[in-house]
C-alpha cells in the first residue's frame, strides 16, 4: 500500500476500506473485462503455440510433463545409459528451454532424471564417433587455426546447451539423485535452485579425461559456492563432493532422503514459485543474474530501469489487493 501511494496510485486515507480503495484507484488498474472473455483469450492458443507444445513431446533424450499448475518437469530420459549426454541431448536441451522460455503456461521448471543416477556426464562412445567424423571432414592441408576455429564453434554450441537454462526467464529447480558427474555439474550450475538426495555426489570429471571443463562449471561454480580453494581442489583432483558437504558449501539448499522425495520437494518449490506474479519472479531472476555478472552500481541502475517499466504491471495491484483481503492472488499469463 505504501509503495502504491508513492506511485500516486493508492491514497493512504483509503486503507481502512478495501471497497473504497477499489473506487479510488484508477479504473484502468483493474481488469473490468469479463472473466469469461479473459479465459477465452487464454484458451485460444495460436497455431505456433500449439506447434511449440507438440515439439516438446518429440524429444528422444528428455521427457516433458506438467505435474503441477504452471510447472513443467524436464526429465533426463536415458536411464539405461545413466542419462549420459549424447549428441541428441545437447541439441534437445537448447530447443526445450527455448520453447519453455516463451511458454505462457510455464512459470517454473523442475530438472530431474530417470533411473538410478542423475547423469554420468558426456556420452564418451557417442562423442568418440563424433570426433572421428569431424577428423574425417578436415581437409588435407588445413592448418591448426582452421581446425581450431571449427572446434571452437562446436564448443560454443555445447556451452549454449546449459547457458539456455540460465537465460530462460523461468526459475529452474534441479532435483539431483545419485551421481552427478562431469557435464551434470555444468548443467546444475546453470540452474537457479538445487536440491539433492542423501546419496547424491558431484564430480568435476574432466581432468581425468585429459581436458579442462569447458561448458560452465569453471565459470559458474566458484560464484555459487564462494570458495575458490574448494573449487580448484575438486577440479584438479576430480574428487567427489558428497551431498552433506555440498549442502555445507552452498551448492545445494536442501537434502532429501531419496530420489522420489527430492523430486517431490523440487515440485513443491516450483509450484510455490509458479503461484507468484510471473512478472515479479522473472524480473527477479533476470536482475539476480545481471547483478552477479556486473558491478553493484551498474546493477542498481539496471534494476531501476527495469522496474521503471515493470512497476506499472497489473500484478502489483492484484498482489496488494489479495494481501489486504487475505485471498490468493490470481495472475494473468505472461
Q: Answer for the pair 118, 184: CB distance below 8 angstroms, yes or no.
A: yes
Question: Which of 49, 126, 160, 214 is the catalytic position?
Answer: 214
Of these residues, 92, 103, 122, 182, which one is catalytic? 122
DSSP state of 61: S
Q: Which of 75, 123, 206, 315 is catalytic?
A: 206
Residue 123 known to be catalytic: no
Active site residue 206: yes
- Sheet of 62-68: strands edge to edge? 62-68, 71-76, 108-113, 172-176, 193-197, 254-256
Pick from 181, 160, 162, 172: nearest CA to 82: 181
CA distances from 94 to 58, 91, 114, 185 (A): 14, 5, 19, 17
In whole angstroms, give the CA distance from residue 127 to residue 81. 14
| Closest-CA residue to 131 (of 89, 163, 87) | 87
Catalytic residue among 115, 178, 182, 183: 183
The Cα 211–Cα 207 span in angstroms is: 5
Question: The cell 522425495 sits on which residue?
Answer: 261
Catalytic annotation on 214?
Answer: yes
Asked about 183 being catalytic, the answer comes back as yes
236: three-class secondary structure by DSSP: helix
Q: What is the DSSP string of 279-306?
A: HHHHHHHHHHHHHHHS-HHHHHHHHHHH
3-state SS, residue 36: helix
Q: Which of 75, 123, 186, 275 is catalytic?
A: 186
d(CA 191, CA 64) in angstroms, rounded, equals: 17
**Residues tagged active-site:** 122, 183, 186, 206, 214
Amino acid at each position: 500500500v505504501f509503495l502504491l501511494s508513492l506511485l500516486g496510485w493508492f491514497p493512504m486515507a483509503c486503507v481502512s476500506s478495501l471497497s473504497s480503495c477499489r473506487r479510488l484507484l484508477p479504473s484502468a488498474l483493474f481488469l473490468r473485462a469479463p472473466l469469461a472473455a479473459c479465459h477465452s483469450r487464454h484458451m485460444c492458443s495460436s497455431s505456433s503455440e500449439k506447434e511449440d507444445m507438440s515439439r516438446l513431446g518429440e524429444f528422444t533424450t528428455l521427457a516433458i510433463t506438467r505435474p503441477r499448475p504452471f510447472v513443467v518437469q524436464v526429465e533426463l530420459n536415458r536411464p539405461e545409459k545413466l542419462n549420459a549426454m549424447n549428441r541428441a541431448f545437447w541439441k534437445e536441451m537448447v530447443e526445450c528451454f527455448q520453447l519453455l522460455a516463451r511458454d505462457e503456461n510455464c512459470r517454473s521448471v523442475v530438472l530431474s532424471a530417470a533411473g538410478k543416477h542423475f547423469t554420468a556426464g558426456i556420452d564418451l562412445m557417442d562423442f568418440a564417433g563424433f570426433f572421428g567424423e569431424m577428423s574425417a571432414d578436415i581437409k588435407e592441408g588445413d592448418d591448426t587455426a582452421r581446425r581450431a576455429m571449427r572446434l571452437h564453434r562446436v564448443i560454443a554450441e555445447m556451452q549454449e546447451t546449459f547457458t539456455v537454462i540460465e537465460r530462460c526467464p523461468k526459475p529452474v529447480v534441479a532435483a539431483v539423485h545419485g551421481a552427478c558427474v562431469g557435464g551434470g555439474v555444468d548443467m546444475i550450475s546453470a540452474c537457479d535452485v538445487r536440491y539433492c538426495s542423501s546419496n547424491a555426489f558431484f564430480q568435476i570429471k574432466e581432468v581425468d579425461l585429459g581436458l579442462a571443463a569447458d561448458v560452465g562449471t569453471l565459470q559458474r561454480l566458484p560464484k555459487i559456492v564462494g570458495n575458490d580453494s574448494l573449487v580448484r581442489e575438486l577440479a584438479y583432483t576430480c574428487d567427489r563432493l558428497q551431498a552433506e558437504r555440498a549442502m555445507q558449501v552452498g551448492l545445494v539448499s536442501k537434502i532429501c532422503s531419496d530420489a522420489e522425495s527430492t523430486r517431490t520437494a523440487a515440485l513443491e518449490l516450483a509450484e510455490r514459485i509458479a503461484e507468484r506474479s510471473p512478472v515479479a519472479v522473472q524480473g527477479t531472476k533476470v536482475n539476480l543474474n545481471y547483478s552477479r555478472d556486473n558491478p553493484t552500481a551498474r546493477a542498481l541502475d539496471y534494476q531501476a530501469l527495469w522496474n521503471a517499466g515493470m512497476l506499472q504491471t497489473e500484478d502489483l495491484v492484484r498482489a496488494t489487493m489479495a494481501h489486504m483481503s487475505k485471498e490468493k492472488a490470481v495472475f494473468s499469463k505472461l
